Amino acid sequence: MRRPIVLITASVGTQVDEYAQAVAEAGGEPVRLDSAGAAGRALENAQGLLVSGGGDVGPSAYGAPNSPSIEDVDAERDALEIGLIRAARERRLPTLCICRGLQVANVAFGGTLFADIPAALGVAALPHQRKGGDGRNERGLIAEHVVRIDAGSALARIVGTTEVTTGARHHQAVERCAADLRVVARTADGIVEGLEANFVSPFWLAVQWHPESTRELDGGASRALFAAFTEAARLQAGHALNR
């Protein structure tokens, strides 16, 4: 059987190499999508949807006022991904949302976001991003960024543990969780790190960290996420052939 097609969303002109490599390693066929004009046909041909990281979700998408903390808003991408996430739900398409992807998924189903974690939590906030010597966000693990996962969740079953040290590159986070989703993981400061669906889906998972960047670093948890997602997409492809 040919590899299942996995759409990977992105802003125009940005790289998706790590996401694509992680999907390919797990047995999927990654296809980049950054154009609303191609979205309908692409979704019809896909067996999985991966909503990737990126800039901030525009506050207008969740009814919030603008904030000086908001940066790199791409309103066209917001609209594209909100539409894709909702359409994927209707099609019961396996979906994996990463970092910004978790945030935009929460917004797509009616939730809200903190515009800025340090502003919301103050000194109680853990480091959810860390700059390297070159001024860029570090892409590896952050020792203090330990995600605690609900024992009965699909996420815990997939990664094989209820506690995992992860990387992090975000300053926004879920404030009010959408009713159609449920929180299954947090850091010690209360920031939401994992969401699962309250609706029927063969696979629906959102994580706030970046498993595509830590596949070599976390004892197999990141690879397990991509393996489970891609396997669900493979099964989706098999169902389509048998219809």
pLDDT at position 113 is 97
Beta-carbon contacts of 55 under 8 Å, excluding residues fewer than 6 positions away, are 11, 71, 72, 73, 74, 100
pLDDT at position 30 is 97
pLDDT mean by block of 10 residues, the chain; 243 residues: 91 92 98 84 94 95 91 92 96 97 98 94 91 80 96 98 96 97 98 98 98 96 98 83 52
Catalytic residue (choose from 99, 128, 145, 170): 99
pLDDT at position 106 is 98
Catalytic residue (choose from 170, 193, 210, 231): 210
Please confirm, yes or no, whether 212 is among the known catalytic residues: yes
Q: What is the model's pTM?
A: 0.95
Reduce the secondary structure of 94-155 to three states and give it as a string.
CEEEECHHHHHHHHHCCCCEECCHHHHHHHHCCCCCCECCCCCECCCCCCCCEEEECCCCHH
Instruction: Say which CATH number the domain at 178 has.
Output: 3.40.50.880
Domain limits at 156? 5-242
Please confirm, yes or no, whether 177 is among the known catalytic residues: no
Nearest-angstrom CA–CA distance, 93 and 63:
27
Q: How many domains does the chain have?
A: 1
Please confirm, yes or no, whether 210 is among the known catalytic residues: yes
Catalytic residue (choose from 18, 29, 196, 212): 212
